[in-house]
Structure 1
Amino acid sequence: MPEQYYTTQLQAGLGLKEETKGLFELWAPGMNTQQLCDVALESGSFPNVTARRLRNIVAECFYPRYLRNEEVAHRVKSLLDVLSSTELSQIFYLYTSRSNYILSEFVKAVYWQKYASGYQSIDIEHAKEFIEQGLQEGKMKKPWSETTIKRVSSYILGCLADYGFLEGTTRKERKLTPPRVSDKIKVYLAYELHFSGLGDNAVINHPDWQLFGLTNDDVREELKALAVNRYWIIQAAGDVVQISWAYNNMEEVIDVIA
């Protein structure tokens, strides 16, 4: 895997849940970012968004989250009418975290650690300390100014609020409101990791589960519990897991969780 760096890309857009749904309704296979921008502008679906802002959302947010791999876009589009608003938010959060290394690392290293330690809230200083630590560890391609650090700290918290992980308030301190990951999202993620070519133990141990606060042991137990619904057959002996997968592709998986 190529080395990843913290970026300021969240400044282009945070959760963007409604904008993402609107763009998916307009997106068709084979569209590039310029074509999607043109269709979105002509559609009139974004009356309160300037042309420049819309292009920025498509190029800096929608594309890196969903269009780098068109198969991802196919899957997420097919889920729009299948999942509840909360479940869809968790899907958007998954792909936003994957495309924004700074967000995923903050969630794993700070958010869930604070929650596990009994914290009731989190504030911008926690985010700033996290970014400053990253700066010391060389996780940015070039140094950030104090202004940039403060701005990106705010973006991180705002994005988590958009996805329901923090109280939706503009106050400096935000209450932790960790959502429980939906069973449908667990099934979707497990199969997506499986079809990416990972072995059974690698699926269980994949860091994406940490985005939802799940340890390796948690994942193993969650998958065992879901086996009663015949999504798979799982056998575990110590740290070794063997899974017999019930479906042959993601289309089948999406049909089942619909």
Structure 2
Amino acid sequence: MTSAVYTTQLQAGLGLVTETKALLDLWVPDMSTGQLQDVARGAGSFPMITARRLRNIVTECFAPRYLVSGASPAAHLKMLMASVPLADLMQLMLLFTSRANPILGDFVREIYWARYAGGYQQISNEDARAFVERAIDDGRTSKRWSETTVRRVAAYLTGCCADYGLLEKGLKSNRRILPYRATPTASAYLAYDLHFKGLGDNAILTHQDWQLFGMGREDVINEFKRLSLKGHVIVQAAGDVVRIGWKHQSMEALCDVISKG
């Protein structure tokens, strides 16, 4: 679980997979959010969306998710977008959206994967609502939310999971749990992202971001062994000691290798 305060920011937009891809097509480095809005309106990429709605998508969804850390998430997704499957992009979008919205990340880690591991077939809005209510009782929000807000945020959580492929899509209060595991692209990206953030090898293996994909330390070690077969890393494991050799010198180099297949 994260220690960050939970917000209602997901109300501005859930997964927004199609919208994110359209904005990435238009975005260039050093472009401000205002410039991106202007370009998006001028390009006619969002003909059914009002100017106010577009502004909300750009400033409250796209920017907090993809224009942080020097806009590196946007730059990397743009590099990968033309050559990797949509499933890979959606997993990276889940990663960035969960970092921007800790309530989503904790819901996936604590509720989705607990239900998945327990053999449950569905997750309901009531499950999400109970999670939100516990979080409020635990002081995870800056103030108590109204019953209406609790109900809406619960629906946002399950809806966002559906957008990213963890739950079935549709306007439903009960959603079927779908098979879900990290793709090699998502695993390689996350591994190197944590490495270039300065984490040591053992800290990387136990980082909470892996739990978004249902992975504990041993799962991550096995994933690194699979990445070694693809030439991304070198893994040396002896008992509890794991050493990782990193083959790529930057995130851009990794993305370039991935995009070339």
Q: TM-score, normalised by structure 2?
A: 0.96
Q: Does 1:174 align with 2:175?
A: yes
Say whether residues 1:59 and 2:59 are aligned partners. yes
**Secondary structure at 1:177 match in 2:** coil
Q: List aligned pairs for 1:81-96, cutoff 5 A.
A: 81-96=82-97
Give the deviation of 1:225 after TM superposition: 2.4
The share of aligned pairs that are identical, in percent, is 51
1:50-199 → structure 2 map (5 Å cutoff):
50-69=50-69, 70-199=71-200
The runs of at least 4 consecutive aligned structure 1 residues that moved more than 6 Å come to none
Map of 2:234 onto structure 1: 233
Q: Secondary structure at the match of 1:244?
A: strand
3-state SS of paired residue (1:186): helix
Aligned partner of 2:19 in structure 1 is 19
Other-structure match for 1:223: 224
- What does the per-residue CA deviation read over 1:137-191, in whole Å, with 9 as the maximum and x for residues that have no partner? 1000011011100000000000000111101121211100032211111111111
Deviation at 1:63, TM superposition (A): 0.4
Matched to 2:12, the amino acid is A
The whole-number CA distance in structure 1 between the counterparts of 2:136 and 2:27 is: 37
State the match for 1:33 in structure 2.
33
Query: Helix, strand or coil for the counterpart of 1:115?
Result: helix
The one-letter code sitting in structure 2 at the alignment partner of 1:62 is F
Contact 2:4 2:140 in 1 (8 A): yes
Post-superposition CA distance 1:219-252 (Å, at most 9, x none): 0111112212221111112222101111111121
CA distance in 2, matches of 1:13, 1:65: 11
Match of 1:42 in 2: 42
SS in structure 1 of the partner of residue 202 of structure 2: helix
Q: CA RMSD in A?
A: 1.2
Deviation of the 1:3 alpha carbon: 5.0
d(CA) in 2 for partners of 1:35 and 1:217? 45
Distance 2:16 2:66 in 1: 13
- Letter paired with 1:30: D
- Map Cα deviations across residues 194-237 of structure 1 (whole Å, 9 max, x no partner): 11111111111111000011111100111112212221111112
Paired AA for residue 159 in structure 2? G
Deviations along 1:23-53, one digit per CA (max 9) or x if unpaired, are 1111111111111111111111110111000
Structure 2: gaps (5+ residues): none
Task: Count residues with an aligned counterpart.
Answer: 257
Distance 1:207 1:199 in 2: 14
Distance 1:239 1:95 in 2: 30
Amino acid corresponding to residue 247 of structure 1 in structure 2 = H
Aligned equivalents of 1:89, 1:120: Cα separation in 2: 22
Counterparts of 1:26 and 1:226, CA distance in 2 = 32
1:203 maps to 2:204: yes
